[in-house]
Each structure stands twice: as C-alpha cells, then as structure tokens.
Chain A
Amino acid sequence: MPDTLRRLDYARRLLTDIERSRHTTGNRAGWIIPLAIPAIDSCISMGGINAPALHEIHGRIGNGVATGFALWLARQALTHRNGSVFWISAPHVADSDTLYLPALDGELQDRLTLIEVRHRRDILWAFEEVLNSGQAAAVIAETTEINLTTARRLQLASEQGHCLAIALCRSGADVKPANSVARTRWRGTSCREGWLLELVGGRGVRPGAWKVQHNATTFSLHLVSPTGDGPLSERYDAA
C-alpha cells in the first residue's frame, strides 16, 4: 500500500511539473500570483493564481467581494508585467451597479481603461480582442455565465496575449456555477470578518472556503483565524 501511495504522489508531482512547463508559451514564461496564504495556495496545484489563464470569480448582489478580489488580482498582475488593466462592462449584465472608481487606489485608477459595451454579444468580442492584443496585464470582464467553448477561446486568447483574464460572473447565492474550463473558479461573498472566498472548481485544485481579510493599505490578504482573534500576522506585526 505505501508503494502505491508513493507512486501516486510521484504521479501527482509529475503532473504538476508538466502543467507548469506546458504553461510557458514560447519563450515567455507565465507567472503565478500567490495569495500568500499557504492554506489556500496549497490547494491549487500551481501554487497560486497562474497567468496567462482564464479565471472565474462569481459574485453576489449586495457586496463587492468578487469585484474587490478581481481588482486585487489585477493589481498583483501589474507587478508581474507592464500594461494596463482593462475593465469591460455592460450595463445590462450587472444589475444597476457599476464599478465605483473613486474607491480604487491611485495606481489602479491611472492604469485602468474602461470599456462599456452596449450589446451582450460584444462583451466576449471585446474580451477576446483585448486579450489577444497583448496590451493588457489583466482584463476583467463582467459577464454572465460563459460556456465551455467560450472559455476555451478566452483561455487561448489569454495565452496569446500573455495576460491574466478574469471573468466576473454575477450569479445567485445558491446557484451552482456551470462547468467551465477556467483554471480556477472562485465565489466571493462577504462574512462578518471580511471576505469569504470559496474555491469552487478549476483544474488541479482542491475546493475549499476561507475567510480572508484584505488590507487596503498594503494590498495583502490574511487568513482570519478560526478563533475569531483576527489575522495572526497583524498581531505579530503589532508585537
């Protein structure tokens, strides 16, 4: 039995290595955005949110965790390559709420280009176009559910343009997101302590849910301790 386990472990590691190496397209290496929380990073075989790839974040009406998480990822992507952040929105996809720009920090405000799309069919066109162009470090598109074919196209486009693609989907609280080929799929809701991030699916991930706090000054994420004492690192910093 231990032998089987060892072989399984070996196979897992091999798979991870293959995934990582496949990930370098041409001579340009991809990058990985770690959430810097070992508990979460260890659940993703790549060790973080990898790019270029498509990721899905599902959000709910009534709190902006999904938006905040997507912007946090875009901000991290800016540290890995230069380019701007594109935000694609369509008035009919979102409820009646829009991204409120004064809430963002200065650097993100400067590097954000907004694209407003009038028709539903143009969202994916614009999404693919921006991804393909290679001008963006990250592209966030507010869409409804994306199907398998679309997701695959977006994945290819993001590899072509070498940037992080984030689909920000609006779904109800109890609706299980449909299958997709996004590399990771998250659901962001709010809890009393801060963000409740659920890793609901993806490739090479172990699903889980974590309570996370976002520090708006240092732009870092902390895990909330289950005992309710607040993030550990903050207490260490204070000490």
Chain B
Amino acid sequence: MTQPEQNRIDPDLPFAVTRRDPLGIFLTGCNRKARALGLRPTMRLTDARASVPELVTRTANPEAERQLLQEMARFGERYAPWIAIDDSDPAQGDGGLWLDMSGGTHLFGGEKALMTDVGRSYQVFRCTRRLGLADTPAAAFAAARYAPGAGIPSLLQSGATRQAVAGFPLDALRLVPATIRVLNRLGFRQIGDLYPVPRASMTIRFGPDVMLRLDQILGRHREHLAFEHSPRIYEVGHVWPEPLGTADSIERAVQVLLWRLCQTLRGNGIGLRRLGLRFQRVNNMTVSLISATSAPCQDETHLMRLLRDRLPGVDAGFGIEAIQIRAFQTQRLCPEQGSLTDLPDDATDPDACHRLIDRLAGRLGTHSVYRFARCQSYLPERIPVRQPYPGVSPEKSDSKELPAAVPLPVPRPIRLIQPAEDIEVLSFDADKPRQVRWRRLVLQAASVQGPERLMREWWRDFHLSPWDHRSGRRDYYRFDDHQGHSLWLCRVSGKQTASRWFVQGWFEGPPP
C-alpha cells in the first residue's frame, strides 16, 4: 500500500487492521509478523492485545480497500481483460483478484513465467501477494491461500485438480465457518475426505452449499464471477496546426469529428445519450457545449442537426486550435426491425419521434417538452403534473408509467387560470353570485351551478398561516352569463378571514 512516509508502518512490528461491529472490535488483516506471533483475523482486539502488547492497529477503511482493489484490477488488465474482484469475506481482511487467463498464458511465456511476472509487477502495490493458478476459479482461490509453502506461487497442474486440492483444508471451500466447524467435528479435515461421501446425504445434512462448492472447485459446476470492466471512453479530438476562425470551418471540423465518433459507436453497437464538445482557443481558454438525446443515437446527421443551432454560440475568439468530442453518456443500442408492412406510416417510427423530441428539447430546453401526469389532490391546480417526455432527461427513470386517467365526477373547466384572479361579486342570489365584476366587465348570471366544496389535504401546507387564502375551504360555482362567459368561480373562506372570490378557469360552454 502506498502511504505517506509518516503513516508508514515498520514491517518488523506486528500490525493489524481492526473492524468494529456490534459485538466488539475484531482484527481483520494481520501482517506477517503478527501472524507469526499467533494473531489471526476474526480475533478480538482485546485478546490480541493481551498476547501481543506492542501490536499496532489501524481502523479498517472498506471504501479505500475497495478502491485499491479496483486499482489493482485495472493494473491487471495488462494480463487479461477478464478480471474479477473477490471481496466476499471482508472479515478475513484480505482481498483477491481473479484473472481469467484461459488461452492466454503462452503470451507471457507459459504459466510459470506468467506467475513470476504477475508477482513481480504487483510489487508496486506493496502488499503481501499470494498467487495460485488452477483450472477453476475456486481451485485457484484455494491454491493461492491454502497451498503448502506460504508465499510461493502455487501452480496446480491442469487436469489434476482433484488430486491437488484433496489435501487442502476445508476452509479452502469458502463455506460458512459454522458448517466447517461441524464438518471438522464429524471428522472431515481435508477436501479429499468429502470425495467418497454420497451427495444425497451431504445435501440433506448441510444443504446444497457444500456440494456446490465442491463442484465448483472440481470444475463440475461453473462459477460466475463479477468481472470488472472499466467503462470505455468514446472520444475523438483533433488539433489543427492553423487555428479555425470562421463558423463554417468549425462546423465542418465538428462534422468530421462527429462522423469519426459515430463510426466507432456503430462498430461497438453503442448509442450516444449525452455529448460534450470542448473547443480550445489559441489563448488557452476553452468553450464547451453539451447536448443530449432522448434515445441512444449513432446518427451523425441527427447529432449535427442538434448542434447546428448551438454552434454559432461558440465564441471562437482569435481562433480555435483543438476540438474534442466526448460521449459523456452512452447506452447499448439494439437494432430494431422496421415495420414489415409497406404502409408509409412515419408515426410508428420511434426513432423519428425521438429525433423530433431531441430537436425541440435542444432548442427550447429539456423541461419544455412534457406529458401530462396526475397528482392525487383535491385542489384543481395541483392535479396536473408535468412529466418529462420519456427519455428527455437522462437522469430520470424512463420506465415510469403514467397513472391511468380517472374520469372526474363533475366536469372540469377546459382552461385554468394560474394563479387565480380576483373577482368582485356585486350582488348575491341566495348565497350564489348574481352579478360579478371581472376585468372591468359587469356580468349578469344566466345560470349558476354549485357549490362544490373542495379543501386542501390536511397533511399538506403546514407552513400556511390561517390567513392565507390557500388554506381556506373553497366553494366552486359554475357561472354562465348571456354574453358567452362561462366561468369557474371560487369562494375561499378561511376561519378568521372574510371570504374572497376568484376566477379559476372557464368552461367550454354552458352546462347541458
């Protein structure tokens, strides 16, 4: 582990990493000196201190450990593209890496030479290393940890795994400690002891785990490893010897680079969701542009069309000498079969629809294209919720379903005024408005329907004071006059305030 000088621990001192859990503080990893003094992982710190008072300890940092393992995995990509991290047992305090070298050892001069090379090159991480090579991942795990002769790279001959692992202790099977304890008590000490036992009786007594692990180590059952894949970065760039100054030349340059990027994407079956452009000016200033698409896209014509509106906004200054285009967000793209019928129906082409949405969202902003969703509320202005068009904002989940539309018990106005407008009621007819003044017009009621009482939900808007008109109860009336006004009036009456009248919308026409 590369540590600053002052934090470095003398390897001659017994050292352990500790982990705190509800039962106390335990050791997780010990160095060679500590092991030689009899300390083991999973030991209590108090016990360890009692036997080795000079023990140096540090608290475990799982985050950093994981990071280091990932760094090591990336480092190992020089040997094989298939690398998996083994951190299945953090209590043991040691991490592992699996390299799948199938068919690749000859590139490094054979298995033995490969192991020497791996051992040497991982020295830079300043960790104790143990190497094992075998036919199956589980056997390699066992070979690295339990092969006789600590520290020597152990190589199990291909095809001879059964004999090679027979002498390993049961711990090499990666079983639960309790199971191992019981098995030990029953007289099973080595993996080879399990070979003659009938599968059925073992499964009945211990569940499927023991036989599964045995199968995995012997290669009878395939083990699935979570291979680490460093995300591939799709990026193109170019530096021009002569700075680009005109809008035309910049556009041409972007076009060429986009084409190159899309070629790569097409070759890999990847679609682009978010694109970043970086223009570097001659005076070392940079200008950047970000553009997003609502569906994975590999089409440079479409991307160019999205960018064409924005490129004039790039200030070239004294000239642009380098352009970098990078795919910030990508997505796997499955080619879809087009319609088999020969009807020229553009509307069923989802690509065309996404392209349209991209263009609209690109120019008007991502929040300006939306669909209708319903919020459960009694207050009319709260019901409609804007839902971003599926795929417009890459951060939002795309799979959210729109709730089904529920027919309203009473007709609602087709247009809503937001915020509601004040209206003056001039005269009443049995608690219903008869004459109102709205926008300097005096309207005489032809028919008034209502009231319909709606209230805010009691669990909302605690912050509203009782004097706020939004907190009161509302009575809605449908008000029609002879001049063709069809208003939705609302009286808000609070507990401590006089009632106020509002117009909140208008209907298509008078009630039938």
A63 and B506 in contact, given A106-B407, A115-B364 (Cβ under 8 angstroms)? yes
Kindly identify which residue among A60, A129, A191, A196 contacts B359, using a CB–CB cutoff of 8 Å. A129
Query: Which residues of chain B are within 8 angstroms of A115 by Cβ–Cβ distance?
Result: 360, 364, 368-369
Kindly identify which residue among A95, A129, A190 contacts B484, using a CB–CB cutoff of 8 Å. A190
A113 x B508 contact (CB < 8 A): no
A63 and B347 in contact, given A130-B360, A191-B484 (Cβ under 8 angstroms)? no
CB distance from A30 to the nearest CB of B (A): 14
B415 x A97 contact (CB < 8 A): yes
Query: Which residues of chain A are within 8 angstroms of B35 by Cβ–Cβ distance?
Result: none
A194 x B510 contact (CB < 8 A): yes
CB 8 Å contact bits of B46-90 with A (1 = contact, 0 = none) = 000000000000000000000000000000000000000000000
Report the nearest B residue to A83, measured CB to CB: B347
CA distance A144 to B484 in the complex (A): 21
Report the nearest B residue to A136, measured CB to CB: B347
A135 and B353 in contact, given A28-B344, A63-B484, A125-B363 (Cβ under 8 angstroms)? yes
Q: Determine if B425 is an interface residue (Cβ-Cβ < 8 Å).
A: no
A100 and B509 in contact, given A62-B484, A64-B415 (Cβ under 8 angstroms)? no
Name the prevailing secondary structure of the A interface residues.
mixed
CB distance from A194 to the nearest CB of B (A): 5
Q: Determine if A114 is an interface residue (Cβ-Cβ < 8 Å).
A: yes
Interface residues, chain B, with chain A CB atoms under 8 Å away: 344-348, 352-353, 355-356, 359-360, 363-365, 367-372, 374, 380, 383-384, 386, 389, 402, 404-405, 407-408, 411-419, 421, 439, 446, 480, 482-487, 505-510, 512
- Knowing that A63-B508, A133-B352 touch, tell me 12 more A-B residue pairs with CB under 8 angstroms: A28-B344, A60-B484, A63-B484, A63-B509, A64-B415, A67-B508, A68-B508, A99-B415, A106-B404, A115-B369, A129-B359, A190-B485
CB distance from B135 to the nearest CB of A (A): 57
CB distance from B347 to the nearest CB of A (A): 4
| 5 nearest A-B pairs in the assembled complex, by CB-CB distance | A106-B405, A83-B347, A64-B414, A68-B508, A62-B485
B485 x A63 contact (CB < 8 A): yes
CB distance from B411 to the nearest CB of A (A): 7
Q: Determine if A110 is an interface residue (Cβ-Cβ < 8 Å).
A: yes
A62 x B347 contact (CB < 8 A): no
Query: Which residues of chain A are within 8 angstroms of B485 by Cβ–Cβ distance?
Result: 62-63, 190
Kindly identify which residue among B359, B415, B482 contacts A98, using a CB–CB cutoff of 8 Å. B415
Interface centre among A83, A100, A117, A133 (most CB of B within 10 A): A100
B372 x A112 contact (CB < 8 A): yes
Query: Which residues of chain A are within 8 angstroms of B386 by Cβ–Cβ distance?
Result: 114
CB 8 Å contact bits of A115-156 with B (1 = contact, 0 = none) = 111100010011001100111110000000000000000000
Q: Determine if A7 is an interface residue (Cβ-Cβ < 8 Å).
A: no
Query: Which residues of chain A are within 8 angstroms of B384 by Cβ–Cβ distance?
Result: 100-102
Kindly identify which residue among A60, A64, A118, A122 contacts B508, using a CB–CB cutoff of 8 Å. A64
Query: Which residues of chain A are within 8 angstroms of B484 by Cβ–Cβ distance?
Result: 60, 62-63, 65, 189-191, 196
Report the nearest A residue to B483, measured CB to CB: A62
Query: Which residues of chain A are within 8 angstroms of B418 by Cβ–Cβ distance?
Result: 96-98
CB distance from A19 to the nearest CB of B (A): 23
A99 x B414 contact (CB < 8 A): yes
Report the nearest A residue to B309, measured CB to CB: A125
Report the nearest A residue to B386, measured CB to CB: A114
B370 x A192 contact (CB < 8 A): no
Kindly identify which residue among B347, B360, B508 contacts A190, using a CB–CB cutoff of 8 Å. B508
CB 8 Å contact bits of A176-209 with B (1 = contact, 0 = none) = 0000000000000111111110000000000000
Can you offer 14 A-B residue contacts whose CB atoms are under 8 A?
A61-B506, A63-B485, A81-B347, A100-B415, A100-B505, A101-B383, A102-B383, A114-B386, A115-B368, A117-B364, A191-B510, A192-B446, A192-B482, A193-B510
CB distance from A161 to the nearest CB of B (A): 8
A63 x B365 contact (CB < 8 A): no
B421 x A96 contact (CB < 8 A): yes
CB distance from B477 to the nearest CB of A (A): 15
B509 x A130 contact (CB < 8 A): no
CB distance from A57 to the nearest CB of B (A): 13
